[in-house]
A = this chain, B = another copy of it.
Amino acid sequence: MEFINGVKQKEDISVGQLLTGDYTGKSVKMRGTVHNVRDMGEVVFVILRKADGLVQCVYEENAAAGSDAGLSHEDTAGAPSVPAAGSLQLSDIKNLKEESAVEVTGRVTAEARAPYGYELRLSGIEILSEPDEVLPLAINKFKMHTSLEAKLALRPISLRNVRERAKFKIQEGIVRGFRDFLMSQGFTEVHTPKIVSRGAEGGSNVFKLDYFNKKAEMGQSPQFYKQTMVGVYDRVFEVAPVFRAEKHNTTRHLNEYVSLDFEMGYIDSFEEIMAMETGFLQYTMELLAKDYQKELNMLDVKLPDVSRIPAVRFDKAKELVAEKYNRKIRNPFDLEPEEELLIGRYFEEEYESDFVFVTHYPSKKRPFYAMDDPADARFTLSFDLLFRGLEVTTGGQRIHDYKEILKKMEKRGMDPADIESYLMIFKYGMPPHGGLGIGLERLTMRLLGEQNVREASLFPRDVTRLEP
């Protein structure tokens, strides 16, 4: 009987290993994609693209055979079967197709002009697979200088560009930060259903589907479920897709996005939720600085200062920007996108903060489950977080009392029978609680300084885009 025992170390090394190990003067194997071939006549440079970086490989006719001739077995690190020196031909290298998958063998040599200060003096190349056609897009340029439309149409390929993929590596870091920080704060991760019988927020912007002849919807938010789980684990979080059938085709909207949600019980005030989000941002910026510096540098990203985030009341924020920027308040109950931008600008100018919490949104603009401010029921104990003038989070304290939520539903003409299994949690007891939802792509977009949220989604879904 054959047995599988677990992961075996492979012979080839990563860029990380190359940089941290002691390989200078030794022959190594590396696997990757042929990113670029630069033919200089008798010298050919091959740039190998690996997940964790680019590696410069060089082949000089005659020189390669010479430099490998004296290679003793002791010099070989993790590469017992280096092809015989001289077996590699200049023509092999010159004929390499970009986007071929290869295994190269070469001696590690210090070279100040190469990425990371090392290059591989090639002694062997094995082609693992080859493309069928030449790329329709110069993905091996540092900046692609192409339109967003073109990039998105060729997304499966354009993501191979090192700057494009760096964006989503940083996005990985944000999600890691969210999970790791919340786990450290006693939160439990949950997975709740995305096919639901009714949306949490109601309204018309839901995708409907036929579920075995029953009417169903794609979840706009895990709202009801995460509140439910507060009754179980006190503090919970979820990272999952949400779906909004909004017909806006703007630079800020996606019809499917990743929502970073948390919900926490036993709170004394809704400020605790903002404090938890601030803690998440502090932790995450540190994590990015530690583990994603390469990508941050590549994209010229300067991490924002999140040591403290100002909080301003909704109506006060409106007044401040109306006054400073000489602007009329048209809609006292909601923030227009332009107003959000101005609030962002105000707090950047006055407090050097990229973030600002806007609190106490009007009750009529918040969902029925939002808790009204006991001091003034026209407002809620809720907030948005703006990042450089864009709403990236909505959160707040929720009603936890059964009679109170029934009363608010009645006022809004809602039928409790429609959401009976949600209301069950209040009927049988819920602690005071609240939480928030963060739009991952918006947060990424603002962090990267991108102007369109599609730049921060691997395969964006918008009104016209269902592919790739």
Contacts and interface: CB of A to CB of B under 8 A. Distances in A.
Given A159-B232, A197-B467, A258-B191, A185 B429 contact: no
Contacts of A16: 186
Interface in A133-180: 133, 135-136, 154-157, 159-160, 165, 168-169, 171-172, 175-176
A193 B256 contact: yes
A157 B428 contact: yes
Contacts of A99: 428-429
Interface in A1-49: 1-8, 12, 14, 16, 31-33
Interface stretch (A62-70, A76-84, A111-119, A455-463): A455-463
B307 A5 contact: yes
A168 to B, nearest CB: 7
A349 interface: no
A298 to B, nearest CB: 15
B311 A6 contact: no
A466 B33 CA distance: 46
Contacts of A165: 232-233
Given A51-B188, A312-B1, A440-B191, A132 B424 contact: no
Given A8-B275, A207-B209, A241-B241, 5 more contacts: A4-B274, A14-B186, A101-B430, A176-B189, A424-B468
Interface residues of A, number: 123
A240 B193 CA distance: 11
Given A99-B429, A427-B133, A309 B191 contact: no
Interface stretch (A85-93, A331-339, A373-381, A400-408): A400-408
Contact of A156 (B128, B228, B255): B228
A450 interface: no
A110 interface: no
Interface stretch (A212-220, A362-370, A389-397): A212-220
Interface stretch (A276-284, A321-329, A409-417): A276-284
10 contacts: A1-B311, A4-B271, A32-B234, A156-B228, A168-B190, A169-B188, A176-B183, A193-B460, A212-B464, A240-B240
Q: How many copies of this protein are present in the complex?
A: 2
A44 to B, nearest CB: 19
Contact of A101 (B168, B195, B271, B431): B431
Nearest to A162: B232
Contact of A186 (B52, B128, B243, B461): B52
Nearest to A308: B3
A351 to B, nearest CB: 7
Interface in A51-75: 51-52
Q: Which 10 A-B pairs have the closest CB atoms?
A: A131-B429, A99-B429, A101-B431, A421-B468, A132-B402, A51-B234, A7-B279, A3-B308, A209-B209, A156-B228
B188 A276 contact: no
Contacts of A50: 234
